């Protein structure tokens, strides 16, 4: 099945991901800004995670650091977060590039671009 997610619906998917990931769904006044709090500064290291998906199986092929190389624990988190996003989006086949910022309140996915297999 080659199912392309409804990309305009990505903000809703990001909120759902934040709801299922422990500690990521905090709201303002509950220990930190929530995932859709636009006032939250995105201070922290940024990473681009490149994936390839075949039949719904997502393989991380590269993690590119904007500021510094990620630690092993950060690499595990980045792989998990991006795979969960692609699963929630129903992304089955193609490549994706996802930008993640690790803030003091947890990770924030700031962009995800997909390219289906042609």
What string of DSSP letters covers 13-30? HHHHHHHHSTTT---TTT
| pLDDT over threshold 80, residue 58 | yes
Give the pLDDT confidence of 18-41 residue by residue, as tens digits. 554 544 444 434 444 444 555 567
Neighbours of 101 (CB within 10 A): 20
Mean local confidence (pLDDT), 47-57: 96
Q: What is the mean pLDDT of the chain?
A: 79
pLDDT-derived band at 17 (thresholds 50, 70, 90) equals low
C-alpha distance from residue 22 to each of 14, 16, 19, 97 (Å): 14, 12, 8, 23
Interatomic CA distance for residues 100 and 54, integer angstroms: 22
For the cut 50, the answer to whether the pLDDT of residue 78 exceeds it is: yes
């Amino acid at each position: 099945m080659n199912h392309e997610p409804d990309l305009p619906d990505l903000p809703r998917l990001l909120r759902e991901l934040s709801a299922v990931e422990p500690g990521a769904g905090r709201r303002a006044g509950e220990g930190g800004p929530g995932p859709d709090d636009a006032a939250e500064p995105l201070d922290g290291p940024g990473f681009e995670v490149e994936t390839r998906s075949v039949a719904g199986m997502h393989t991380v092929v590269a993690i590119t650091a904007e500021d510094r190389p990620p630690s092993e624990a950060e690499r595990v988190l980045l792989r998990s977060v991006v795979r969960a996003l692609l699963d929630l989006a129903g992304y089955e086949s193609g490549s994706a590039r996802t930008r993640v910022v690790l803030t003091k309140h947890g990770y924030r996915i700031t962009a995800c671009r997909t390219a289906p297999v042609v």
